[in-house]
Amino acid sequence: MTLKILGAAVAAAVGVTALAAPALAQNEQFIPALVYRTGAYAPNGVPFANGIADYYKLVNARDNGINGVRITTEECEFGYATDRGVECYERLKKKGPTGAAYVIPLSTGVTFALTEKTATDKIPLITMGYGRSESRDGTVFHWNFPLLGTYWTASDIILQHIARKEGGFDKLKGKKIALVYHDSPYGKEPIALLTERAKRHGFETMFLPVTHPGVEQKATWLQIRQQRPNYVLLWGWGVMNSTSIKEAVAVGYPRSQMYGVWWSGAEPDVRPAEGGATGYNAVTLQHTAGQFKVHEDLKRHVYDKNQGSAKWDETGEILYVRGLINAMLGVEAIRTAQEKFGKGKPMTGEQVRWGLENLNITADRIKQLGFDGVLQPIRVTCQDHEGARTGRIQTWDGKNWKISSDWYTSDDKVIAPMVKDAASKYASEKKITAGCLN
């Protein structure tokens, strides 16, 4: 009996090594998808992953791929754990005729781990709305693309909004602003900008880390109740967001004085607290909730053929729409690369990098794609891998998100010098000579 078990175990081990990956046809563009659909971060990971998967299906169904090159994708579950994320990257980076076109890690921790690996493997990293804030400087971070905004942009927009409410930055003197953040590279990113602004305008800062997975926050919010900060910024992820809002309700801290980053401002974060979340604000990564022109194509080409990965009424939610936008930017980058390196052919990582660095999505291109009124024009250059630095504030009125401010642009007088010396410090440490690739 036991010999049979041993035989099975040996077969299992052999099975893995002699594993032949299913061969892919020649004319396909492979894009890996690092996702987390289980564990403490699933509530936010699932809608985003559905958005990306559905957009690829839309491109294949509506325009038969990018100029005839169909997109193939494979999901790999890593539960927001950095080492499993790297494992997924290693397994998927060589698949497909030309390897992975680009990687969307959806985790700042994984972004830190992959920054060096992707440079040697020549695969661009699209970290839309997250990642390393200093990776905006393309002369040093050739392969990182924090499109549409970094965390320095997000925190700066929130501070500008608060300053406007208080009547100007000088009114912030003596005020106290707290940051409740997820104790990981993601949560620590805004601290640099907040300290810089605090030095300039003389307001007090208070940093409260919440350990993974962010379930236990009672002590944090008791401290907030006792220290009475004027505003609380929330940099949470997964179940931590909803717990923070519920604890705020429990200690009676007014939600109208709370501002979340664009990753702490989606439906799964506010619904669990039910009525309690009314008045809670969050900065937007340009777009807000709702269904747009692109959803009509989505309905006709994907959901009517019940290929959709989410329920139809969820496709208007913030994280699903952000998934669509992220996939759209990736596809447009491949399309730009194909213009230069040959239409109708799958692109290599290097070519897609060029595509990303020369991404220029004008207002009417946005209208053609069906995202009008959602996004502003994006222009990526070798020096500026962010492309756009604008956002608005939205408020949850108990049932859905309402835009409660007009467009802000992050103040480059403050951020540019910070990016400069952070990037040069990284360049000297890693012995990279700053400069644009071809």
Partner 1 sequence: MLYREAGQFKTSYQADQAIFPIAQDRWFVWGLVAFGFLVLPLFADQYLYTEVLIPVLILSLAAIGLNILTGYCGQLSLGTGGFMAVGAYAAYNLALRLPETNLIVVFLFAGLMAMAVGVLFGIPSLRIKGFYLAVATLASQFFLEWAFARVKWFTNYAPSGSVAVGKLELFGMPIQTPMEKYLFVLAIVVVMTLAAKNLIRGRLGRMWMATRDMDIAAEIIGIRPLYAKLSAFAVSSFFIGVSGALWAFLRLGSWEPLAFDINRSFQILFMVIIGGLGSLLGSFLGAAFIVLMPIFLNQLPGILGIPMSTALISHLEFMVFGAMIVFFLIVEPHGLARLWAIAKEKLRLWPFPY
Partner 2 sequence: MLGPIIETLIGGLLTGVLYALVALGFVLIFKASGVFNFAQGAMVLFAALSVARLSEVMPLVFAVAIAVVIMVVLAYVIERLVLRPLVNQEGIILFMATLGVAYFIDGFGQTVWGSDIYKINLGIPKDPMFFFEGVFPGGILIDREEVAAAAVCAILVAGLAIFFQVTRTGRALRAVADDHQAAQSVGIPLNYIWLIVWAVAGIVAIAAGMVWGSKLGVQFSISLVALKALPVLILGGFTSIPGAIVGGLIIGAGEKLAEVLLGPILIKTFDLAGGGIENWFAYMLALVFLLFRPQGLFGERIIERI
Contact positions with partner 2 (CB under 8 A) in 22-51: 37-40, 42-43, 46
Nearer to partner 2, 164 or 271 (CB): 271
Q: Which stretch binds partner 1 (CB under 8 A): 87-95, 229-237, 292-300, 402-410?
A: 87-95
Nearer to partner 1, 12 or 413 (CB): 12
Site for partner 2 contains 326 (CB under 8 A):
no
Nearest to 99 by CA among 352, 350, 348: 348
Tokens of 176: 């106290």
Is residue 259 within 8 A of residue 238, CB to CB? The reply is no
Is residue 354 within 8 A of residue 337, CB to CB? The reply is yes
Is residue 233 within 8 A of residue 263, CB to CB? The reply is no
Q: Site map for partner 1, 213-232, x if CB under 8 A?
A: --------------------
Q: Which of 3, 167, 406, 433 binds partner 1 (CB under 8 A)?
A: 3
Q: Which of 170, 274, 364, 397 binds partner 2 (CB under 8 A)?
A: 274
Nearest to 322 by CA among 49, 123, 98: 49
* Least distance between partner 1 and beta carbon 9 (Å): 7
Site for partner 2 contains 297 (CB under 8 A):
no
Nearest to 81 by CA among 229, 225, 184: 184
Q: Which of 222, 363, 416, 437 binds partner 2 (CB under 8 A)?
A: 222
DSSP annotation string for 402-414: EE-S--EE--HHH
Long-range pairs for 372-379 at CB < 8 Å and ≥24 separation? 372/292, 372/293, 373/292, 374/286, 374/287, 374/288, 374/292, 374/321, 374/325, 375/286, 375/287, 375/325, 376/286, 376/407, 378/147, 378/148, 378/329
DSSP 131: S
Tokens of 404: 């409660």
Residue 242 partner contact from partner 2, partner 1, none using kind-dependent CB cut-offs of 5 to 8 Å: partner 2
Site for partner 2 contains 319 (CB under 8 A):
no
Query: In terms of DSSP bridges, do strands 144-145 and 70-77 run parallel, antiparallel, or are they unpaired?
Result: unpaired
* Least distance between partner 1 and beta carbon 108 (Å): 7
3-state secondary structure of 73: strand
* Least distance between partner 1 and beta carbon 81 (Å): 7
Q: Which stretch binds partner 2 (CB under 8 A): 51-59, 138-146, 208-216, 316-324?
A: 208-216
* Least distance between partner 2 and beta carbon 116 (Å): 24
Nearer to partner 2, 166 or 314 (CB): 314
Q: Which stretch binds partner 1 (CB under 8 A): 17-25, 250-258, 370-378, 398-406?
A: 17-25
Tokens of 292: 């747009």
CA separation for the pair 248, 33 (Å, rounded)? 35
* Least distance between partner 1 and beta carbon 170 (Å): 27
Distance between first and last Cα of the chain: 63
Nearest to 368 by CA among 292, 316, 315: 292
Q: Which of 24, 67, 79, 246 binds partner 1 (CB under 8 A)?
A: 79
Crossing angle between the packed helical segments 239-251 and 42-63, to the nearest 10 degrees: 130
| Residues paired with 235 in a beta bridge | 181
Contact positions with partner 2 (CB under 8 A) in 275-294: 276
Phi, psi of 379 (to 5 degrees): -130, 110
Site for partner 1 contains 46 (CB under 8 A):
yes
Q: Which of 32, 260, 268, 355 binds partner 2 (CB under 8 A)?
A: 268
Residue 22 partner contact from partner 1, partner 2, none using kind-dependent CB cut-offs of 5 to 8 Å: partner 1
Site for partner 1, rule CB under 8 A: 2-3, 5-6, 9, 12-13, 15-17, 19, 21-22, 35, 37-38, 42, 46, 75-77, 79, 81-83, 86-87, 90-91, 94, 108-109, 112-113, 115-117, 132, 183-185, 188-189, 191-192, 209, 211-212, 429-430
Site for partner 2, rule CB under 8 A: 37-40, 42-43, 46, 183, 188, 207-211, 213-216, 218-220, 222-223, 225-226, 238-239, 242-243, 246, 249-252, 268, 271-272, 274, 276
